[in-house]
Structure 1
Amino acid sequence: MRGRDAMKAMVIDGFGGPEVFRVADMPKPEPAEEQVLIRVAYASINPADWKTRAGLLPVVQGPFPMVVGMDCAGVVEAVGPGVTAFVPGDKVIAMSGLGQGMSGSYAEYACVPEMRVLKLPSALTLAEGATIPTAAASAASTIIEVARVAPGSTVFFSGGAGSVGTFGVQYLKWIGCKVATTCSTRNVDHVASLGVDRVIDYTKEDTKAALAAWAPEGVDAIIDAVGQHSLPADIVDVIRPGGVLVVIQNLLTDVEAYDLDGAKARGIRVVNNIMDARKPDARWFQVEAWRELVKGIEAGAIRTPPYEVLPLEQAGAGQARVEDGHVRGKILLKIGDI
């Protein structure tokens, strides 16, 4: 029988494949200073989650047993000393404190630094809210802090059907940019419905040629949200001199996948989305940009991606699908009935 001080969680006892997950009773965390304890309704499965499980994230190397999970939606259970923005009962969305001395979100409860928590936008369900944190933060930080995209710019943001792409292209349109993206045939109508100016079906079109025809004077920025050599190395040729290419780091390919010499010769900055976004206090990583994008959600200008829900016990199977790629929107883990 699970006591009041224990919680159900999916844990790993070491790094490995999806099979390393097991259900366990773990101590229920207590919020320390400036921390919020959340009773979790849903956690989303992010690419960083399977990379954590596989031991690929340098900032997350134990201890074991480990609860993984980068974000969640739920209800505030308790707050630690110094917390002023939240009270018990608030419905919230949050980026977890995994990698910062706290456990992840694949559990009935999660402690999170206060600044990494936002109130659930009033028009959304908790499930819809759970699609937001990590994906929206990654998209917003890349656009605002790293690419430094100005309103009215011409931008190519690859992977428009994924959760990061869904948030990214909509935020760019909200700030007045001209936007192109890629997706497969089955997702063309969905991506077009997000307001994108040019949807490139990568299964039928040459992406570089399509971009050159769409923006003959070049694009101001390219944001690669897919990686793994999905774009040609010479895609830098369609960027205007002085422009930027940002690779959303996936730990499988990075900036070396592109023609760095050609980019340098034309004054094009080629960077990944992590280095330029780091903060002296790691708790603030991507937080400020995330808050800017959520304003667009609250205004009704940005909608959340489609999702499907799996039980917590299927965390391994869900991660395997995300690792395989081509998931439209998000996969969520149902954890608590709230």
Structure 2
Amino acid sequence: MPAPFIRAVAAPTLATIQQTGVTMKAMILHAAGEPLTLGELPQPVAGPGQVLVRIHASGVNPLDLKIAAGSAGHARMPLPAVLGIDMAGQVEAVGPGVSGFAPGDRVFGMTGGVGGVQGSLAEYAAVDADLLAHAPRTMSLREAAVLPLVFITAWEGLVDRARIEPGQSVLVQGGAGGVGRAALQLALARGARVSATGRAAQREQIEQLGARFVEQAEGGDFDIVYDTLGGAVLDASFKAVRQYGGHVVSCLGWGNHGLAPLSFRAATYSGVFTLLPLLTGHGRAAHGAILREATRLADAGQLSVRLDPQHFALADANAAHAHLAAGKAAGKVVIDLV
């Protein structure tokens, strides 16, 4: 079953964004399925509750590719559009009513690229301050730029939905992926005993992070199972969770699934839809709060990212998307703007 389409409210489009008369470079999607084109747009200004950010790096997510192809009905963008969900950069100015940020601050966030909100494939963005947090001191802005979507998704699943507690046993399905890696590290930081599935080639990666490697779900005694893959893996997760109080959470629970195995275990299920605050305008402060936790964990040495070694400039955004789509990335892909 396809994810529902949710209409954005009060989302500025490229035609309505407040402008300075100064232009900026941006990669623009004019039609779904066509390449992005490099162009110039009016540079935005920080309105009430907003922060003007000079974007240094844009993290690339699989969802960005689906939006560009027009195949993400749950995350549509009115065209023409600037894509890019994740970003990190430096504060240029703050709008009326904003506190906690000042020019020169290093910030990061999941700030646009869906629902009509300008994304991060541009030199500047006027960002809702609630969506931002100060970037970790121990990370470069390239590293910080790939954290927001995956960490927020991991947090909403493990903390907000599953209510993870110290000592619990957690299985992360797909522990070497973007969300899986974040979930694995978050679970360990919360004091859980963590196992993670993956391909044999990913074993070393998973074990270096501190989790037990398993090639597929085994047993049926995990307190929490976090599915990041969907499909048959989610079905298997229903059988891997413990009886009486076990909880399965998924960020890709969009298909048709039989709940009988879960019901027979007296276990429960939750879904995660991280885009909702961006699409509706509600609950955005929660995202900023979650990213402050990411900063705390990163600076404490409990959260790291794995970057693909290739570098892409803004004008190379199509090549970056193709690199990810081809399965060639050896980590999170970043587009550099500075």
Calculate the TM-score normalised by the size of structure 2. 0.85
- The count of residues paired between Structure 1 and Structure 2 equals 315
Q: Distance in 1 between matches of 2:49 and 2:66?
A: 28
Aligned match of 1:10: 27
Tell me how far 1:104 sits from its aligned partner: 0.3
Q: Distance in 1 between matches of 2:200 and 2:298?
A: 27
Query: 1:96-141: CA deviations, max 9, x gaps?
Result: 1344653000111112111111112112211121121111111111
Name which of 312, 317, 320 aligns with 1:315: 317
- The question of whether the paired residues in 2 share the 8 Å contact of 1:166 and 1:329 is answered with no
Q: Any residues of structure 2 matched to 1:253-272 within 5 Å, and which?
A: 254=254, 256-257=256-257, 259-272=258-271
- The question of whether the paired residues in 1 share the 8 Å contact of 2:52 and 2:125 is answered with yes
Overall identity of the aligned pairs, in %:
30
Tell me how far 1:193 sits from its aligned partner: 0.8
Tell me how far 1:29 sits from its aligned partner: 1.2
Q: Distance in 1 between matches of 2:328 and 2:289?
A: 29
Identify if the C-alpha distance between structure 1 residues 115 and 280 changes in structure 2 by more than 3 Å, giving closer, same or farther: closer
Name which of 213, 227, 247 aligns with 1:199: 213
Q: Any residues of structure 2 matched to 1:1-338 within 5 Å, and which?
A: 5-16=22-33, 19-58=34-73, 60-99=75-114, 101-196=116-211, 198-200=212-214, 202=215, 207-208=216-217, 211-212=218-219, 218-229=221-232, 231=233, 233-241=235-243, 242-249=245-252, 254=254, 256-257=256-257, 259-274=258-273, 281-284=282-285, 286-308=287-309, 309-325=311-327, 327-336=329-338
Calculate the TM-score normalised by the size of structure 1. 0.85
Q: Distance in 2 between matches of 1:169 and 1:33?
A: 37
**Stretches of structure 1 lacking an aligned partner (at least 5 in a row):** none
Identify if the C-alpha distance between structure 1 residues 61 and 174 changes in structure 2 by more than 3 Å, giving closer, same or farther: closer
Query: 1:34-86: CA deviations, max 9, x gaps?
Result: 11111111100012211221234446434321001111111111111111111
**Stretches of structure 2 lacking an aligned partner (at least 5 in a row):** 1-19
Q: Distance in 1 between matches of 2:281 and 2:336?
A: 34
Q: Distance in 1 between matches of 2:300 and 2:274?
A: 30
RMSD (Å), alpha carbons: 2.5
SS in 1 for 2:40: strand
Tell me how far 1:276 sits from its aligned partner: 12
Query: 1:266-307: CA deviations, max 9, x gaps?
Result: 222223212898688142364433332332112122222233
